[in-house]
Structure 1
Amino acid sequence: MDGVIIDSEPIHVKLEKEIIEEAGGDYAKLKPEDFMGTTDVQMWSTIKEQFGLKLSVEELINICRERFIQTIPQIPLVDNVLDFMAALRNNGYKLGLASSNNERAVETVRNQFGLDQYIEVFVNGEAVSKGKPDPEIFLTAAKLLGLQPEDCLVIEDSRNGVLAAKAAGMRCIGFQNKNSGRQDLSKADLIVTSFKNLTIEDIKNLLNEPL
């Protein structure tokens, strides 16, 4: 979702910097791109331990969630993503969203942008025990869609997400979002910089389907 459907990574970075510095940590010592694609618990547990923050992981998560949800109305969609999803649906593809973000954030984005008309299955980071780069979230989404992993194609903007997709045995398109940091997407089967450059023929080729 983040960085692929909504262009939210700059907001995440801004909020995380504010919260870490308010809590007594030094944001400059972190690489925010390392946390993209991971769950809230994974990220804030690491940050709390690194800086010895007094706030609990749960408190840090709740502060960040509340601030993020308040900003969702200001976050833009990624260019051309709705047109691309509509084209996929019109060509008979099933769509699922597998986001490491929490349930409330996913539901807020789902309702804000009317994603139900494109996406059948929504899986959030709280529905799985292991975050990306573990493949659990993608395997869960595939099961809910009634599909085998080898019949699935993932679009990801983060290194952790690409690794999770490949670990799940799925094809993967790396979406190079300039706002997602310098992510290593080299393990992806195809890398694109815009949904304008991605066609149904590309999807069919990656899934070895007849054109």
Structure 2
Amino acid sequence: MKAIIFDMDGVIIDSEPLHMQLERELLEEYGGTITREEHEAFVGTTDYKIWSTFKERFHLEPSVDELIKIKRQRFMENLHKVKLVDNFYEFMLTVYNEKYLLALASSNSRKIIDKVMDIFDLSKYIKVAISAEDVSKGKPNPEIFLKAAKELNVTPDNCLVIEDAFNGVQAAKAAGMKCVGYKNPNSGNQDLSDADLVVESFRQLSLDIIKGLLGES
């Protein structure tokens, strides 16, 4: 069997602007400030990586766990504003109907992933969902993608990852998987050059292209 593993933020849901807004607001509440360019380097990494870095750099008063809790709560409260990435749903249905196994591997929390799966009714299609809490090391470490492949019972070389961030592309390639870099303008200036293919829309991903990347005739 062949599998397609989706990142969530910026690939399934267009949520990167909300993440960045909430992180910036929370950081500023405690006296920190960061440029957009600096902030974009954290896209695709875990909340722990972001807030442990911010706490050390800006000497923030709350604990890392407290900062993560506040940010995740605010994200949940604003999740109703988030929409699916354009043409994602149609693409997902196409590959699902072609019998590809589908998984989600996200640096977000289990609670938020479950909520997204529920809101957009994705569970009937996406059978495996791996969260930041399911792994010991976040992207760019490949652990999250390797775990998704293992749960799907598919070897890494039979997996294609779709990612919008530098950290995710690095993780996918380190896992020995094919990778499509999705250039989401809302994910900032991400270096996707190590991906096997870079696209600007799911409409550019035909079945022939998917099959070619996965070495199918």
Verify same fold: TM over 0.5: yes
Unpaired runs of 5+ in structure 1? none
- Aligned partners of 1:204 and 1:55: how far apart in 2? 48
Map of 2:83 onto structure 1: 76
**Deviation sequence 1:50-102 (CA, Å, 0-9, x none):** 10101100110000000001111110110010110000010010000000001
* Deviation >4 Å, runs of 4+: none
Unpaired runs of 5+ in structure 2? 1-7
- Aligned partners of 1:161 and 1:69: how far apart in 2? 23
- Aligned partners of 1:142 and 1:28: how far apart in 2? 36
1:51 has 2:52 as partner:
no
RMSD: 0.9
| Percentage identity across paired residues of the two chains | 55
| 1:43-192 equivalent positions in 2, closer than 5 A | 43-192=50-199
Q: For structure 1, which segment, 6-15 or 19-28, has the greater mean C-alpha deviation from structure 2 after superposition?
A: 19-28
- Aligned partners of 2:33 and 2:204: how far apart in 1? 39
Which AA in structure 1 matches 2:82? Answer: I
SS in 2 for 1:92: coil
Q: CA deviation at 1:134?
A: 0.2
TM-score, normalised with respect to structure 1? 0.98
SS in 2 for 1:27: coil
Q: CA deviation at 1:157?
A: 0.2
TM-score, normalised with respect to structure 2? 0.95
Q: CA deviation at 1:30?
A: 6.5
1:25 has 2:11 as partner:
no
- Aligned partners of 1:169 and 1:187: how far apart in 2? 12
SS in 2 for 1:116: coil
SS in 2 for 1:173: strand
Q: CA deviation at 1:24?
A: 1.3
